Amino acid sequence: MSLLFTPTQLGTLKLNNRIVIAPMCQYSAQNGIISDWHLIHLGSLALSGAGLLIIEATAVEPDGRISPADVGLWSDETEAALGNVLQAVRRYSNMPVAIQLAHAGRKASSQVPWEGGQLLQPQNGGWSTWSASAIPHGATETPPVALDAAGIARVKRAFVDAAIRAHRLGIDSIELHAAHGYLMHQFLSPLSNQREDEYGGSLENRMRLPLEIVDAVKAALPADYPVGIRISASDWVDGGWDLAQSIVLAQVLEQRGCAFIHVSSGGLSPRQQIPLKPGYQVHFAAAIKAALSHLPVIAVGLITEPEHAEQILQDQQADLIAIARGILYDPHWPWHAAAKLGGTVEAPPQYWRSQPRDQKALFGETRIGGR
């Protein structure tokens, strides 16, 4: 039997298979309010047969948006809009839904990617950004403001408030975003964190804010509610955040009851040197998994072929496989993977008649009649 299509759990959350739809920013919200675009986008993905759908990076406060078009969850209005989209999606899909809560830090206030993705100045619709230290992401950019004690308390409260809203909406799990050069990653990496207080310097100090956010979010939710985290396992820059530090962080997260760790890389520095190839991040996931006793590890990054995803699981390099751009290109990626690997997926009855004649078991027990 294909491991990719065996059930698993993230904490108490049961999944039908090990395919995770990774969070992918759509830059299509207005003032943090999720839009009809997301209803179409998430609705399509929710019919894909994957085990879990993670909603894109969702800002916990307005200043934490990557761009002015990011989704947010910081007010009654943003919560109500997200609730409406979820209600429509769930009318036709029982796929578990998680959400990635995020703060972009110094990488906030940027143009959307198709307009260049560069830092926006306040006069052009941008805003002042925050970080661990007053070090800009790009050498020519305006430096961020280093968070003081009050700012750190504000950010932690924002994550907690957003988590409470997500739980109130019935979202099944939360992924905290500590990857891709955003705020929590900025505190972790010595390249962006040059503080001299209890949040800077040693590895223990640099891990302090992400761990405090994990603890605060978990404390605000039911004890069995699954809270996971996404990290960049390496900055891909000499002297930056690296695999050895990631392993220490992962072990501490496991001890603190984290439900899963989603292993990505990069995003912190323009100086990064990433050798892009299929599965280029899998070795990070494998090393972290080997150092843990039970914490589920999600691998992600240019895993596009079902056979590759299956081999990663067979080799015990990860417990789940996240698909991102590949499922945008092929929204029925899990169907096609199941057909190749001999698996079974859930599909809406409206689509049952689409099964190829040689794949009649693809959707499990189906009864297809009609005229």
* Active-site annotation holds for 182: yes
Q: How far apart are CA 195 and CA 267, in angstroms?
A: 20
* Tokens 């909406």 belong to residue: 169
Q: Which of 27, 92, 182, 225 is catalytic?
A: 182
Kind and range of the H or E element at 21? strand 19-21
Largest CA distance in the chain: 74
Burial class (CB in 10 A: 0-12, 13-18, 19+), 290: exposed
DSSP 227-295: EEEEEES--SSTTSS-HHHHHHHHHHHHHTT---EEEE---S-TT------TTTTHHHHHHHHHT-SS-
CA distance 176 to 215: 11
Contacts of 287 (CB under 8 A, 6+ apart): 233, 243, 247
Rg for the chain, CA atoms, rounded = 20
Q: Which residues participate in catalysis according to the annotation?
A: 182
